[in-house]
Amino acid sequence: MGKQIRWMWIATVAALACGDQDDGVGHGRVTVVVDAEDSIVEGVSAGTAVEQIADGWQVEFDRYIVAIGHVTLTLARNSEIVREIEESFAVDLATLNSQGLALWEFEDLAAETWQIEYATVAAGDADPIRHRSVSERDHAALIEQDATYLIAGRLSADEGMSCPPPAHADPGDATPTGERDTGEPCYDNPSIEFSWLVPAETTYGPCEVDGVEGVSVPEGGTRSVALTLHGDHIFFNGFPGGSEGGITRLAQWLADSDLNLDGEVTREELEAISPADLAELDERYNLDAPFEDLLPLDDLWTYVRAQLRTQGHFEGEGECALGGRAHDHDH
Amino acid sequence: MSDERNAWRCTLACAVCLAGCIDVGQERVQFDVHVAGRALDEIEARHGWTVELSRADLAFGPLFLCASTTAGDLCEPARAEWLDSVVVDTLDPASKTAGMGVGLEGEVRSFMYELGATWPLAQPQPQPTTAGEALDEHALKLAGVARREGREVHFEAEVAVAANTAGRTVASGQLDAQRLGADVTTLRARFDPERFVAQIDFDELAGTQEAEAADQDGPIRIRPDSQAHRAVVSGLVSNGRPDIAWDGSAQKE
């Protein structure tokens, strides 16, 4: 190859690489599914393994409804090329099988790498489409409360006890059956229900798996990717901000929040308790919640909201930057 | 046309094209790090108590600025950092120079920092920073008096905090997106000590045996297993993160 031809070839390749359109590039499709971590479908057992609850409680979820959508793909090499599906859905993650649920289809995408973002949405604003796994009543409740999640389930432990902070406790006629190391009285409470409509609107993305960002679209084919919601973050002893390594799952704090010992923890009870009021939230915990709009973190309802806003992942354990502010595309 | 002339034309074409689509390298930036507190008269605490602080010394730093919207694992590598530490008198609103931050130009959206200790991956436990050592391996030394209806409760606390996992920082925060450029001169971190004590339950603290003894012997020393201690820790790690601002022409995106 002569010098002239060689340089012309280099210039042509460079010019193609610089194009801001996808001209000349093949096309493919992306199917986006919503996927539930096993902790949602199967619950979380008690035990000493990393992903078990370490203080003797187990949890199971009857319903784990989320409003999710606003899926956005941005061409990795040119952030001005954006494809978006605004549509959101209300889905009960507790009913999903291991295949997840395909909800969004992107067609005619350049066969390149695209960044992916999505959102858990406020149902009152987003008016999510009701999936058949969600009852009309629960769908209406989500919208009426402008909630993102409806989570219902129970904690249980054969010898479970609640040790509510004395300054807030309303034990009635209950007789203490023990006490914490720090002296607070404890009461038998082996099964504790919860059913919460929780506002937890959050944007997730760009998402990555092991440092590899986004979705690689195959030429002439379809790539399926999963928006994975985890279900156990409210039992984390911190806000990991990425990898969950080193996290311990604990549930006694929630049992201690049953102030009137009626076997149910309500939103009102969580709103009445400052994190500092619970002796259980000791040096094992780090309360470094990453969301400025949830500060000050002065009650446990806010703590639950903050933990739920960290639950969005990608392709199982892949990580997504957490937004939490108004959804925008100015990035 | 000679081969040589064609080669130059092609080279120019390549250069023009490549310059438009390849990151040709980020400029290094440096900026002063200033710290300050806030002048306070009385703080309104829970249950009608008011608090007057006489000491609130905080061990602050290192500080990392991140391109990602949240800090943590997604902040690797940091866009800019200040690797030193300093004791901040958070009752003094005067701005003081703490050192020099360095990094690369670009947008920052979050930050993370240490308070008196850092826990490197290779270490079995947290290690005190220089500022932490200056506070006897604590993050905060606090003293003050709480008052309500004629009762006074003098108190003092020494509080240590650290990440509960190796390789993580103890605290972080989000920022409105800012662009760091060569013309940014100063990062200002301002702390509000009111947030350190706002959640202390002085009813509970005043009812302790320590409080009764302290009436004769001096201030109550806040115990590590007490509500007051947990309230200060929570105030430090979540509610007490500093307000960050820049001097120079840092541009809001």
In this predicted model, what pLDDT tens digit does every residue of B59-95 receive, in sequence order? 999 999 998 888 877 777 899 999 999 999 999 999 9
Mean of the per-residue pLDDT values for chain B?
Answer: 85
Higher pLDDT, B216 or A76: A76
| Minimal-distance CA residue of chain B relative to A243 | B73
A234: pLDDT strictly greater than 90? yes
A50 torsion bin: left (phi>0), alpha (psi -120 to 50), beta (else): alpha
Tell me whether A281 touches chain B (CB under 8 Å): yes
In the structure, what pLDDT confidence band is assigned to residue B99 with cuts at 50, 70 and 90?
Answer: very high
Taking only the tens place, the pLDDT of each residue in A303-316 is 999 999 999 999 99
Residue B164: closest CA among A301, A303, A284, A277: A284
Q: Which residue among B14, B168, B225 places its CB closest to the CB of A14? A: B14
What's the pLDDT score for residue B71? 82
Which range, of A110-114, A150-154, B125-129, B180-184, averages the lowest pLDDT?
A: B180-184
- The ipTM value here is 0.83
Count of CA atoms in the C-beta half-sphere (13 A) of A331: 23
Bridge partner residues of A313 (DSSP): A228
CB B112 within 8 A of CB B73: no
Residues of B in contact with A302 (CB under 8 A): none
Domain presence at residue A16: no
What's the pLDDT score for residue B80? 95
Shortest CA gap A316–chain B (Å): 17
Q: Which residue among B17, B72, B237 places its CB closest to the CB of A242? A: B72
* Distance in angstroms (rounded) separating the CA atoms of residues B182 and B103: 10
Domain presence at residue A7: no
A192 token code pair: 């504790």
* Distance in angstroms (rounded) separating the CA atoms of residues B13 and A8: 9
Which range, of A50-64, A264-278, B18-32, averages the lowest pLDDT?
A: B18-32
Q: Which of A:256-275 have CB within 8 Å of B?
A: 274-275
pLDDT above 90 covers a percentage of chain A that reads: 80
B42 token code pair: 């009385």
CB B134 within 8 A of CB B143: no
pLDDT above 70 covers a percentage of chain B that reads: 85
What's the pLDDT score for residue B121? 85
Which range, of A42-56, A229-243, B229-243, averages the lowest pLDDT?
A: A229-243
Decide if B172 and A323 are in contact by the 8 Å CB cutoff: no
Query: What is the spatial order of strands in the sheet that B63-66 belongs to?
Result: B243-248, B184-190, B28-36, B96-104, B80-82, B63-66, B106-113, B171-180, B251-252
Question: How many structural domains comprise chain A?
Answer: 1
What's the pLDDT score for residue B60? 98
B214: pLDDT strictly greater than 70? no
Higher pLDDT, A300 or B74: A300
Tell me whether A291 touches chain B (CB under 8 Å): yes
Residues of A in contact with B168 (CB under 8 A): 240-241, 246, 286
Decide if A240 and B73 are in contact by the 8 Å CB cutoff: yes
Tell me whether A243 touches chain B (CB under 8 Å): yes
* Domain extent listing, chain B: 29-252
Higher pLDDT, A287 or A5: A287
What's the pLDDT score for residue B140? 98
Mean pLDDT over A68-90 rounds to: 97
What's the pLDDT score for residue B24? 45
Shortest CA gap A23–chain B (Å): 16
CB B202 within 8 A of CB B45: yes
B25 torsion bin: left (phi>0), alpha (psi -120 to 50), beta (else): left
Cβ neighbours of residue B38 closer than 8 Å, sequence gap 6 or more: B90, B91, B93, B190, B191, B192, B193, B194
Residues of A in contact with B228 (CB under 8 A): 276
Mean of the per-residue pLDDT values for chain A?
Answer: 89
Taking only the tens place, the pLDDT of each residue in B158-196 is 999 988 888 888 999 888 888 888 788 899 999 999 999
Domain presence at residue A186: yes
Quick one: how far is CA B99 from the chain centroid? Answer: 14
Domain presence at residue A170: yes
In the structure, what pLDDT confidence band is assigned to residue A243 with cuts at 50, 70 and 90?
Answer: low
Tell me whether A168 touches chain B (CB under 8 Å): no
What's the pLDDT score for residue A227? 98
A318: pLDDT strictly greater than 50? yes
> Which domain range does residue A69 map to?
27-322
What's the pLDDT score for residue B76? 74
A135: pLDDT strictly greater than 90? yes
B3: pLDDT strictly greater than 50? no
